[in-house]
Chains A and B, each alone.
Chain A
């Protein structure tokens, strides 16, 4: 029997796992996909929100502000890039200016530092491509950008190094609590038992919750479509540019990504199908027209890919964090939509401390709180890169030319803890295939490396696990 089973290896589940890995306990993470970060966590804006948007006193406000404060140290410890690029909420109509004042007030009450209103002139000095119509903006200098893949992977890897077990391709089918208070978790790969369960199942968190509690939750998948633009467009804005928020969310933003691309999105559309991560013509059109609302001259011809993600929107509009009255030792992390990425470290800490107190866990003496990421050779000086090639010649072979990813980086991504086993796994860890040619050049090269290193037959290699095979044999 496990002490703790965490269901879902998204950013929340992995953050909980990493925080729990500080303590002496038998912990296992169950993930239905073949890798971490395959659901909501992989398709979002990658923003570390300042926290002015969430309702005062809400879980969202609390964990957002706490998470944002934790992020610099966490990013340093986990060796992942993070930047506070600032955010601007643009007001394009004087009649809505009071909305900015409300946000400012809410932000201050939520504990957000340094936020202020900037007027038209200053705004235009800050961002030369801001729409002519902009009259003022709320400026939050502490808003930041981060790579959701890198954050989730780093949390998972660090948890794994500290003893947390991860079971992939393992889908929870049913869960029940027996008369001794033990949880029995049915999966496609057999049954597990656990003293405690952390429900971090994203879009499916309500389904799991409702199996053990009479206090029902309801989550609506809220689809958000995005377009990602070439790095050539990455400096079009320097801050994250938001419209004024509505009840459907923060609206279509324009932002640089931590890797230097420009991103536009998301739409917000409530749908029924929890699997429908397909983009739509109407959605993409809305993204592209939304981009033009507050930012002029977005070079839309430089779109290199588009994608859709699903946010888990709970009917109460807030994160559900904690134990249902009628299901002791079952800890919900449900309704984690924006600002979920920002909040994850704080949620992780909070949930881990709850479980520590419940189970009387003690801190390990040998916990390792840091890890090194896959080296990014394109950011090294030529001298440093050369030194690396001398040590390992694989760092001298470029595999992905758009992002300048070497074979050495891909080998590291495959062979490190919870290493990549698919094209997308390699992509999320190294950026190979994420550039402007979208893997046209490197796909077969990465396949050959995965095949060689892991012994997976070419016909069984996948893009992202499951049935996403890439090739069949010739006659």
Chain B
């Protein structure tokens, strides 16, 4: 059996950044396994601009952003296999994969980095009534068809869900000559970034219908129309508010789910809130030596954060493969969600192993204006920071100092969104 120091599952932005950082940390034998025909992952179909403002201080398109990291991987002569699907990850870090030329093969890894990304929530999960004709696409599938395969999924389009991919596709379809009739969003706020609402909807006079959902799909063979209705505060459609749209396409942009089939079958503990693995501050999952980063860990708003986290995961994996940086007993701080915080990554911090600073990223449960991010350790407030606006669609973070945390081994750290007088 072949053996590697680190096997990375997925050659998208997370896998590429992890590989590059692991090599910089001195790791020699690294292998990336990518199921698609090229490296870069989903960025290849994200041809719009807006990537890399944090990382490169310039606005790149998805393929350009990917190319920067692909170039690094090539320069560093990191091995990779394309068109290769990982079929199984055993708890002992034997990775089984398959492709046309090698057949089914197994690799023994000292460390494994999970970087499989995420997938879109399908229609079934929404349980929208109506027919099941052709013309219902998840926004990402439509994006792939338009941007890579060069075909149009339809000409008159209704989009359900105001996630960023849906917003981006509203503009993209408009530029390609389609008519986007509206974007309906179940929640009273958009799941997408402000800039995308401005640049993708407002620029093209595409209405955004908040607190609306699709209640019927017409057309037996191909979509012929959809009915949209307003919903009440418990997301139930309000009778009498139905609006009919003649359209040939319904596009769904209703959320992303980390793709953790392999992690689950390996026995890795999954956080039911993120659908990604529970990890410690070094991105290690519940199986020692298996790390997770990128959208397989939690769905990110910006690829810059994916690259940054993946870099740290790559360093951690390199350290693990080299036999360093083992977990310290009784040194963990458990990170808990307080009011207004939906989840945190990581959920534990090893106060001995951690670097001088560690970033905890999280998402809030609703839109908050002029509220405070408070951090408590065992009930003592150690951070207090005002934010003008926080929304579920955008990630928030707090930076924790080692010197401060070291005073509280075995403690509980809570992040909460609160008004001034909490």
Closest to B98 in A: A396
Q: Any chain A CB within 8 A of the CB of B203?
A: no
Closest to A442 in B: B141
Interface residues in A, total, Cβ within 8 A: 53
Given contacts A385-B104, A389-B104, A475-B176, contact A437 B122 (CB under 8 A): yes
Residues of A within 8 A of B122 (CB): 304-305, 436-438, 440
Question: B220 touching A277 by the CB < 8 A rule?
Answer: yes
Which of B47-55, B56-64, B124-132, B308-316 faces chain A? B124-132
Question: B104 touching A303 by the CB < 8 A rule?
Answer: no
Which single member of B35, B129, B141 contacts A278 (CB below 8 Å)? B129
Residues of B within 8 A of A393 (CB): 100-101
Residues of A within 8 A of B129 (CB): 278-281, 283-284, 306
Looking at the assembled complex, report how far the CB atom of B97 sits from the nearest CB atom of chain A, in whole angstroms: 10
Q: Any chain A CB within 8 A of the CB of B396?
A: no
Question: A382 touching B221 by the CB < 8 A rule?
Answer: no
Question: A390 touching B124 by the CB < 8 A rule?
Answer: no
Residues of B within 8 A of A401 (CB): 35, 85
Instruction: Tell me the residues in window 199-238 of chain B with beta carbons closer than 8 Å to chain A beta carbons.
Output: 215-218, 220-222, 237
Closest to A458 in B: B151
Chain B residues in contact with chain A, CB under 8 A? Answer: 35, 83, 85, 87, 96, 98-104, 119-120, 122-125, 127, 129-135, 138, 140-141, 144-146, 149-155, 176-177, 215-218, 220-222, 237
Interface string of A268-285 (1 = CB under 8 A from B): 000000010111110110
Which of A149-157, A324-332, A356-364, A463-471 faces chain B? A463-471
Question: A306 touching B145 by the CB < 8 A rule?
Answer: no
Residues of A within 8 A of B125 (CB): 301, 303-304
Taken together as a complex, chains A and B put the C-alpha atoms of A304 and B127 apart, in Å, by 8
Q: Any chain B CB within 8 A of the CB of A367?
A: no
Question: B103 touching A389 by the CB < 8 A rule?
Answer: yes
Instruction: Tell me the residues in window 385-406 of chain A with beta carbons closer than 8 Å to chain B beta carbons.
Output: 385-386, 389-390, 393-394, 396-398, 401, 404
Taken together as a complex, chains A and B put the C-alpha atoms of A306 and B129 apart, in Å, by 8
Q: A275, A396, A465 — which one has the most chain B CB atoms within 10 A of its CB?
A: A396
Given contacts A281-B129, A468-B221, A470-B134, contact A306 B124 (CB under 8 A): yes
Question: B35 touching A284 by the CB < 8 A rule?
Answer: no
Given contacts A284-B127, A394-B100, A401-B35, contact A443 B141 (CB under 8 A): yes
Which single member of B124, B146, B215 contacts A303 (CB below 8 Å)? B124
Question: B87 touching A404 by the CB < 8 A rule?
Answer: yes
Looking at the assembled complex, report how far the CB atom of A190 sits from the nearest CB atom of chain B, in whole angstroms: 23
Residues of B within 8 A of A436 (CB): 122
Question: B222 touching A467 by the CB < 8 A rule?
Answer: yes
Label chain B's interface by main secondary structure.
mixed
Residues of A within 8 A of B146 (CB): 474
Taken together as a complex, chains A and B put the C-alpha atoms of A227 and B120 apart, in Å, by 19
Taken together as a complex, chains A and B put the C-alpha atoms of A382 and B101 apart, in Å, by 15
Question: A467 touching B100 by the CB < 8 A rule?
Answer: no
Which single member of B123, B130, B218, B221 contacts A467 (CB below 8 Å)? B221
Residues of A within 8 A of B135 (CB): 470
Question: A469 touching B134 by the CB < 8 A rule?
Answer: yes
Given contacts A303-B127, A473-B151, contact A396 B215 (CB under 8 A): no
Q: B122, B134, B218 — which one has the most chain A CB atoms within 10 A of its CB?
A: B134
Q: Any chain B CB within 8 A of the CB of A228?
A: yes
Question: A389 touching B153 by the CB < 8 A rule?
Answer: no
Question: A470 touching B123 by the CB < 8 A rule?
Answer: no
Q: Any chain B CB within 8 A of the CB of A444?
A: yes
Closest to B130 in A: A278
Residues of A within 8 A of B127 (CB): 227, 284, 303, 306
Taken together as a complex, chains A and B put the C-alpha atoms of A186 and B315 apart, in Å, by 73
Q: Any chain B CB within 8 A of the CB of A240?
A: no
In the A-B complex, list the 9 residue pairs whose CB atoms are closest, starting with the nearest. A305-B124, A463-B134, A471-B151, A393-B100, A438-B122, A468-B134, A304-B124, A389-B103, A398-B85
Taken together as a complex, chains A and B put the C-alpha atoms of A390 and B154 apart, in Å, by 41
Looking at the assembled complex, report how far the CB atom of A4 sits from the nearest CB atom of chain B, in whole angstroms: 30
Which single member of A307, A440, A475 contacts B140 (CB below 8 Å)? A440
Question: A390 touching B103 by the CB < 8 A rule?
Answer: yes
Closest to B150 in A: A474
Taken together as a complex, chains A and B put the C-alpha atoms of A259 and B275 apart, in Å, by 24
Taken together as a complex, chains A and B put the C-alpha atoms of A163 and B53 apart, in Å, by 66
Listed by A's residue number, 23 A-B pairs whose Cβ atoms lie within 8 Å are: A277-B131, A277-B132, A278-B220, A280-B129, A301-B125, A305-B132, A306-B127, A389-B100, A389-B103, A396-B99, A396-B101, A398-B98, A440-B119, A440-B120, A444-B145, A444-B149, A468-B221, A468-B222, A470-B134, A471-B151, A474-B146, A474-B150, A474-B152
Looking at the assembled complex, report how far the CB atom of A388 sits from the nearest CB atom of chain B, in whole angstroms: 9
Question: A275 touching B100 by the CB < 8 A rule?
Answer: no
Taken together as a complex, chains A and B put the C-alpha atoms of A401 and B124 apart, in Å, by 17
Looking at the assembled complex, report how far the CB atom of A433 sits from the nearest CB atom of chain B, in whole angstroms: 10
Taken together as a complex, chains A and B put the C-alpha atoms of A440 and B257 apart, in Å, by 13
Looking at the assembled complex, report how far the CB atom of A290 sits from the nearest CB atom of chain B, in whole angstroms: 14
Residues of A within 8 A of B140 (CB): 440
